[in-house]
Structures are given as C-alpha cells and as structure tokens.
Structure 1
C-alpha cells in the first residue's frame, strides 16, 4: 500500500469514526431526553435494562468514548490506539449482540417483571398515607393521565379508591366521576414495544457503522506494522 492510499484510508477512517461518534452522542442526547420526559421512573425497578433511556445513555456514552479513541488513533497513526480501539469496539459489538439476544429470549419474563412492578406500585399507592410515597403517586397519576388508563388491569384494581387521574373528563368535576376502563399494563407494554423498535433500529444502524469501522481499521494497522510506524 503506497502513501497516497494510506492517506485516503486514514481520512476515510477518521470520517467514519466521526460519524460513529456523532451517532453515539445523538444516542446519549436522545436517552437523556427520554429520561427528562418519562413519567414512570419509580414504577419500574425490578429489571433495570427494560427502561430504554438507561440503555441508550450507557451505550451511547461508551460508543462516543471508544470512537474518539479511534479518531485519535487514525489521525496520529498510532498502532497502540488503533488496536485498543479495535478490541474495545469488538467487545462492545459482542455486548450489543448479547443484549439483543437477552431481550429476544426473555421477552415474556421481562413482561412479567413489568406487570409485577406496576402491581407493586399500585399497592404502595393504595396503602400510603396522604403525604407518603409522593414520587410513586405522582408517577402513577402521570401514567394514568397521559395513557388514559386506570390501574394495572382496570378500574377494579383500586378497590373503590380510584384516584382522580383515572377520570375521563378534564377537568374532572363530576361526582362520582367516569373513569377509564382499560388498564395501564397493556398500554405501557405497547408503548415500550414501540420504543424498543425505534431503539433497535438505531442500534442496528450503529452496529453496521461500527462493523465498517472495524473493517477499515485492520488494513491501516497492517500498513503501519509493515512500515514499522505507529509507536512514535
């Protein structure tokens, strides 16, 4: 490989790694946006990874750090940085595949965790004093209001102590008020499924870019090795 081809390969690697870095930064920003606008953080605690925002933030942060290392390695033609980038990115891709397999294989178990957490939160809400467990109360009220649902499986879950957030009318001024009949479990599960579909599409795109980056890292590293360059 002559110097011109090596320079073109290096420029292409820097460009691809920069695109990968931008994707990682966007994933982090999107995850933070979801965290700020989600109203159910205290309701789902048994299985942390099912909270999409957490997965996005953690994955995006790791991707940005690893891709930054790849950019530096390509620009400085440093073999140590390039091989470190290759190993870290390869491990990251394996972790992404493993997470995808976990969600695919344990899909029903995750839904069970989800349902039990909602039932636990509802019981805490029902048996809490007026000023107790305010975070869970606020989150559950927000879910019922935003998703137009009531209880976990329906209005009967409240056993006659239905909160005003279940009311169909807004503002709710009738006594007794008419409540939503559909439970929040199905609506939230469908909402999570939609979000996971969007997240999966983004992860697949990012995975393809990462794979291309790996493919271009190998020939540049081999070129530097043959020329005995890259450790200065």
Structure 2
C-alpha cells in the first residue's frame, strides 16, 4: 500500500471517528437534557434501561471514549491504540446488537414492569400524606396533565379520590368537575415507543459509521505492522 492510500485511509478514519465522537457527545448531552426535564424518572424504577435518558447517557459516553481512541490511533499511527480501538468498538457493536435483541424479545416483559411501576407509584400517591413523596406526586400529576389521562388504566384506579391533575376542564377551579377517562399507561407506552424509534434510527446510523471505521482499521493496522511502525 503506497503512502497516498495510507493517508487517504487515515483521513477518512479520523473524519468518521470524529463524526462518531460528535454524535456520541450529542447523545450524552441530549440524554442529560432529557433526564433533567422529563417528569417520568421516579415513576419507572424497576427496569431502568427502558428509561430513554439513561440509555442515551451510557451509550453516548462509551461511544465518545472509544471513538477518541480511534482518532488518536489514526493520527499517531499507533498500533496499540488501533488494536485497542478495534477490540473495544467490536465489543461495543456486539453489545448494541444484544441490547436491540433484548428489547425485541422481551418487549412484553418490559411492558409488564412498566405497568407494575406505574401501579406502585399510583398506590404510593394514594396512601401518602400532604407532605410525603412529593416527587412521585409531582411527576404523576405532570404525566396526567401533559398526556390528558387519569390513573394507570383509567379514572377508576383512583377509587373516587382522583387528584386535580385528572380534571379535563381548563381552568379547573370548581369542586365538581369531570376527569379524563383514558388511562396513562397506553399513552406513556406510545411516548416511550416514539422515543425509542428516534433513538433507534440514530443508533442504526451510528452503527453504520462504526462498522465503516472498523473496516478502515484493519488495513491501517496491517500496513503499520508490515512496516514495523506504530508502537510509539
């Protein structure tokens, strides 16, 4: 392989890894933003990976670290960094595939956890005093107000003690008022599904970039090995 081909591969690999690094950094920032502004964190606690913000932060952090190795390895023509990058990226891609398979196979189990967590939160809300469990109360009220729903399966879940956030009037300032009849479970499921579709599209694009970087790593590493370069 002549030097011009090596330089071309290096440039492409640096560009793709830098692009992947930027994507990972954006994913981390978006996950943190979503975690700070979302009102659902305290309501879903049993199976934390179904909460999109957690998945985004963890995945984005790992991607940025691994891609940084790729950029350094290509720039410095360092075989140690390149082989470390190759192995870590290969493992990361396997983990991404495994997570995708888990969500596809155990989708119904995840829905069961989701429903149980919401019912548990509703029970805690119902049994708490005026100054108790305010975080869960605020989050549940925010969900009911935002999605225009009441309870988990419907208004009957509150057993006649539905909070003011279930009111379907605006403003709701009367003692006698109507409540939303639809439960929050299906609306929250649809919201999470929409988030994961968007996240999944981003992950697929990142997976393609990662696979391309993996393909470029092999000829670069072989070239450096044949010429005895790259350990410094």
The TM-score range, normalised by the shorter chain, is: over 0.9
Q: Which residue of 2 aligns with 1:148?
A: 148
Counterparts of 1:188-207 in structure 2, within 5 Å, are 188-207=188-207
Give the Cα–Cα distance (whole angstroms) in 1 for the partners of residues 11 and 189 of structure 2: 45
Query: Which residue does 1:8 correspond to in 2?
Result: 8
- Match runs of 1:64-79 below 5 Å: 64-79=64-79
Aligned-residue offset at 1:175: 2.1
Superposition pairs for residues 95-134 of structure 1, below 5 Å? 95-134=95-134
Unaligned 5+ runs, structure 2: none
Question: What number of residue pairs does the alignment pair up?
Answer: 232
Secondary structure of the residue aligned to 1:94 is helix
Normalising by the residue count of structure 1, what TM-score does the alignment of the two structures yield? 0.99
Which digits, 9 at most, give the CA deviation of each residue in 1:134-153, with x for residues without a partner?
11000000000001000001
The match for 1:22 is 22
CA distance in 1, matches of 2:56, 2:160: 39
What is the CA deviation profile of residues 103-158 of structure 1, one whole-angstrom value per residue up to 9, with x for unaligned ones? 00000000000000000000000000110011100000000000100000111110
1:61-94 deviation line (CA, Å, top 9, x unaligned) = 0000100010000000000000000000000000
Distance in 2, matches of 1:85 and 1:171, equals: 57
Give the structure 2 partner of residue 162 of structure 1.
Answer: 162
CA distance in 2, matches of 1:9, 1:192: 40
What's the C-alpha RMSD, in Å, of the aligned pairs?
0.7
Q: State how far apart, in whole Å, the 1-side matches of 2:103 and 2:77 are.
A: 39
Partner residue of 2:82? Answer: 82
Query: Does 1:93 pair with 2:78?
Result: no
Cα shift at 1:161: 0.7
| Cα distance in 1 between the residues matched to 2:137 and 2:224 | 60
Determine the C-alpha separation between the residues in 2 that align with 1:204 and 1:20: 12
State yes or no: 1:39 paired with 2:24.
Answer: no
CA distance in 2, matches of 1:170, 1:40: 23
1:5-62 per-residue CA deviation (whole Å, 9 max, x = no partner) reads 1111111111111011011111111111211221011000010100011001100000
Query: Structure 1: any 5+ residue segments left out of the alignment?
Result: none
Who is 1:209 aligned against? 209
What residue number does 1:52 align with? Answer: 52
Distance (Å, rounded) in 2 between the aligned partners of 1:173 and 1:9: 67
Deviation at 1:174, TM superposition (A): 2.1
Runs of 4+ in structure 1 off by over 6 angstroms are none
Q: TM-score, length-normalised on structure 2?
A: 0.99
